[in-house]
Amino acid sequence: MDVYATKLELIEMLLKIEEESVLMKVKALLEDVSSPNYSLTEADYVIIDQRREKHFSGESKSFSWEEVKKAAKESLT
């Protein structure tokens, strides 16, 4: 099914819904998806900093985008 047909189907379903609670859940879901609001905790920043330090010190291995694509293709065979 193409995106346009899916949208029309969803519109038809929404028009039939009578329960306001269901509509509010759909609205909240759509708002969440359409405007992602990412926030990191202090713990997230600590992890990022640790990984960054490992990367710059050479403790962790890094891959180029080409290497990642090649490994992904090889894992499929």
Whether residue 36 has pLDDT greater than 90: no
Contact 26, 14 (CB under 8 A): yes
Distance CA 72, CA 64 (A): 12
- pLDDT greater at residue 37 or residue 54: 54
- Verify that 70 and 47 share a domain, yes or no: yes
Q: Which residue range(s) make up the domain with 11?
A: 3-34
Q: What is the pLDDT of residue 1?
A: 64
Number of structural domains in the chain: 2
Burial (CB count <10 Å: 0-12, 13-18, 19+), residue 72: exposed
- Verify that 7 and 23 share a domain, yes or no: yes
Distance CA 68, CA 49 (A): 23
- Verify that 28 and 52 share a domain, yes or no: no
Question: Is the pTM above the cut of 0.85?
Answer: no
